[in-house]
Every structure is written in structure tokens, then in C-alpha cells.
Amino acid sequence: MSSSADLSRLPPVHELLADPRLADLPRPVALAAARDAVDHARDALRAGRPLPDVAADAALRARDALRPRLRGVINATGIPIHTNLGRAPLSPAARAAVAEVAAGYSNVELELDTGKRGGRLDGVRAPLQQLCAAEDALAVNNNAAATLLVLTALARDREVVVSRGELVEIGGSFRVPEVVAAGGATLVEVGATNRTRVTDFAHATTERTALYLRVHPSNFRMEGFTERPDRAGLVALGRERGVPVVEDLGSGLIGRLGGGEALAAEHGEESVDEVLAAGVDLVCFSGDKLLGGPQAGIIAGRADLVAACRRHPLYRALRLDKLVLAALEATLLQYIRGDAADLPVHRMLAADPALLRRRAQALAREIPGARVEDDVGYSGGGALPARQLPTAVVVLPGDDPDALAAALRVGEPPVVARIARGAVRLDPRTVLPGEEDRLTAAVRAALAAPAGTRG
């Protein structure tokens, strides 16, 4: 334990503020950093540890406080749709569209040819109608918002019928029963966890039934003695009873009309246009999963139902800002032009394992002690669940993978890798073109750091 004499060695805050490393910084930032550094040093002395360099610690804390928290990272996990890393990276066309709109004013709600007020969704509505073969479409800020808007606008104070096997939790706290409740609707569960039939929906239908809801299973698969309600049968029942069928499709794959046939065939994922062609009335899906664009939630289908969602006051609270609209429009136009295969997510998912091995070997040659192994990855983001993606990874040396991974995350640039089978692994699938040199430099720096300073 320290004595009062030990604590007297602590520098006063006003002296720290006069240090050249803090003197020119914004005073609130410098003051908070100085106080935190003194508190840290006091704790060290009381614990019997040496007095740290308080001024240097304060300067480091101030620098960190002024550094943006949201930063670009190199994704070496091999997961293309990584939720914690922002899901789909934008294409060059989408990035350019965002930069142009962000640089100044834009015609977000102005028709340039007439000078009259325009619709915020004008740039994305027509491409969505074409790509989804939908009567109408709108976009909000994510798929959870799209589902919530549909439930609120179409089913508030009424009942929504859902199979028990589809009452899933997606991500942090997105649970289907809670979203239904948030939309002001009453959830009616039908069937069993593993088997639900159209007749279960029929028996549950009353005059209060507003919707039949089908939900994409996202992050899991049930196998064995299972049965989902047949879509064609459910659509027929909806027509008979006058109840719209809504499907939360989640992943947002555009298939036949958007060049995604190969992806759909390879991974067994249903596309938006395929589902709507089967007679479903409304589909909700994400813009930043298999669609390969920015975070957005899209509602497509029957014109009257989309219009009801657009008229609802909640829509304004959930609408997209100009930057996301610019990125989404540019992404959709790539589909219209037939360039969807060039979207980063699509390139990553379709990457040839032999090419990935060559890329891994090239990276390993630049990293002392590294080796290459065959491995598998996953798409992430709740898309293509349980579908393995063959790959080759760079296995880094070292007996403390947690410390090495932490050192990579706080390096420059930050690198996010994965730990498996007792080692840090770099998967080239998600390393973007042009990032290789910066990645290998960051890895060499992390490996060269003294073990006690890592993390």
C-alpha cells in the first residue's frame, strides 16, 4: 500500500495542462485526459506499482479521445457479411455516389426537370420495381424497420399468424414475437416447432387476422422431421380468406432479374423476385446482405400495401438519408446494367478456392513463420446459414493468439482476424484488393511487438 508521501508524487492537473503535448488541445479534452491519467497513476501507486509517466499517459488519452471511433479496418476473418464490421462493403460505384452527394447539395427531394418537389425514393423505386418484379417498393433504414413498418401499418390492433418454427431471434435482440408486439399486433402461433402446415394457418384465421407472416430462418437450419407451411398453399389460403401473405426474406438476393441465378442455385437461397412471382403479397429484405449495398430495409410487392406503409407516420421516422439513398441507387443500377457479379460481396462469395490459396501463399511469404492451411468460412449476417465456403488461410505463429489478435485490432491499420484451433488465421477472401501490403505490414508489426505490450 502507498503512503501519503507516495501520493504526493502525483503531478497536479494544472501542471499537466501546461505540458506542450496537452497545451494546444481543446481544453475540455485535455482536462478530462489529465484527470483520467492522474486517477490511473493514483491507482497504480496504491497497488504498489511504479509511478507511470503521467504526462505521457494524459497525452495518449487525449489523442485517443480526438481520434474517430468509427474507423476503417481490414477484414481478415473471411466473413463477407460481417455484422460487427459493417456487413457488405460498398462497390466503387456506390462509394463514388456517396462522395458526390456528401460533397455538397443534392436533389434528394427535387425534380430537376420541372423544379418541383420530388419523391425521396424516386432514384431507387423504379429499379426495385424492375429487379423484384414488384408493383411498388420503398426503402427504410434496415430490415427490422421494414418489418416493423409493415406490421404497424397493416396489422396494428389485429392478429398476425406465424409458424412456431419461425419465431426466431436474429442478431442482438431482434425477436419476431417482440417485433410483432412493437407493431401493435397480436401474435398467433401455429403448428409445432418442427412442423407447421397450411391447415394450421387456416384453423387460426379469424375476422381479426391481418397477415400471414413467413420468416427466413436466418442463422440456423432445422433438419430431420421438419415441415414448413407450403408457400403456394399459404398464398392460395390468403387469396381465399382475403389475408395478405408477407415474407421476411432477410438476405435480399436478387435472382433471375438481377443476375443472381448462379448464387441462388449454388447456395439454395430463394430470391426476392422468385418469392414475389410465387404470389406472396409483400417481401421485406436487407440492402446490406446478399444485395451487396448499404444498410437498408426494402419492402416490395403489392402497390396498395406498399402505399399503406408509405402513408403511415412511422415511415418518416424510418426513412433513408441522402447518403444511403445514393449508395443504394448506385448498387441497384449495377444490377440493372448487369454488373452485379462485380459487387464486392458477390466476388467474395464466388471466389475460387484455388485463387484464395494463391493469395494466402503470397501473404504468407511476407510474414515470418506463417504457413498456409485449407479451411472453411461462412457468409455471415444471417445469409446462407450453415453453408461452408472452402478457402485457404494464413496461420500466424505464436503461442498467445488472443494477445496477437488484440495487437492486430489496435494496430495501424486495425486488422480483424479470427482465432481457430489455437492460432490466429487470416482469410484472404475478405481482404479487399490493394489491402495486402498494409495487412502484411500490420501483421509484422504486431508479431514484432514485445509479448507484454500486445493488446
- The total number of structural domains that make up the chain: 3
Contacts of 218 (CB under 8 A, 6+ apart): 168, 170, 250, 382, 383, 385
Among residues 339, 371, 391, the one where a domain terminates is 339
Indicate yes or no: pTM above 0.75.
yes
What pLDDT is stored for residue 61 in this prediction?
Answer: 94
Co-location of 210 and 320 in the same domain: yes
Co-location of 42 and 124 in the same domain: no
Co-location of 313 and 362 in the same domain: no
Co-location of 130 and 32 in the same domain: no
Co-location of 139 and 278 in the same domain: yes
Co-location of 313 and 393 in the same domain: no
* Cβ neighbours, 10 Å, residue 329: 23
Among residues 339, 360, 376, the one where a domain terminates is 339
Co-location of 328 and 448 in the same domain: no
CA angle 407–411–414, rounded 5-degree value: 105
Among residues 286, 306, 339, the one where a domain terminates is 339
Co-location of 323 and 400 in the same domain: no
Give the closest residue to 280 by CA, choosing from 241, 311, 312, 249.
Answer: 249
Burial class (CB in 10 A: 0-12, 13-18, 19+), 20: exposed
What pLDDT is stored for residue 257 in this prediction?
Answer: 57
Co-location of 233 and 267 in the same domain: yes
Co-location of 325 and 415 in the same domain: no
| Distances, alpha carbon 385 to alpha carbons 289, 337, 358, 388, in Å | 12, 29, 27, 9
Co-location of 250 and 384 in the same domain: no
Give the closest residue to 422 by CA, choosing from 446, 407, 402.
Answer: 402
What pLDDT is stored for residue 230 in this prediction?
Answer: 87
Domain that holds residue 123: 90-339
What pLDDT is stored for residue 260 in this prediction?
Answer: 55
| Per-residue model confidence as pLDDT tens for the chain (455 residues) | 455 557 888 999 999 999 999 988 999 999 999 999 999 999 998 888 998 999 999 999 999 999 888 999 999 999 999 999 999 999 999 999 999 999 999 999 999 999 999 999 999 999 999 999 999 999 999 999 999 999 999 999 999 999 988 887 766 567 888 889 889 999 999 988 788 899 999 999 999 999 999 987 765 566 656 678 889 999 999 999 999 999 998 888 887 655 555 555 555 678 899 999 999 999 999 999 989 999 999 999 999 999 999 999 999 999 999 999 999 999 999 999 998 889 999 999 999 999 999 999 999 999 999 999 999 988 876 666 557 899 999 999 999 999 999 999 999 999 999 999 999 999 999 999 999 999 999 999 999 986 655 44
CATH code, domain carrying 442: 3.90.1150.110
Cis peptide bond prior to 413, omega within 30° of 0: yes
CATH code, domain carrying 256: 3.40.640.10
Co-location of 17 and 147 in the same domain: no
Give the closest residue to 163 by CA, choosing from 199, 210, 137, 124.
Answer: 199
Give the closest residue to 83 by CA, choosing from 286, 352, 253.
Answer: 286
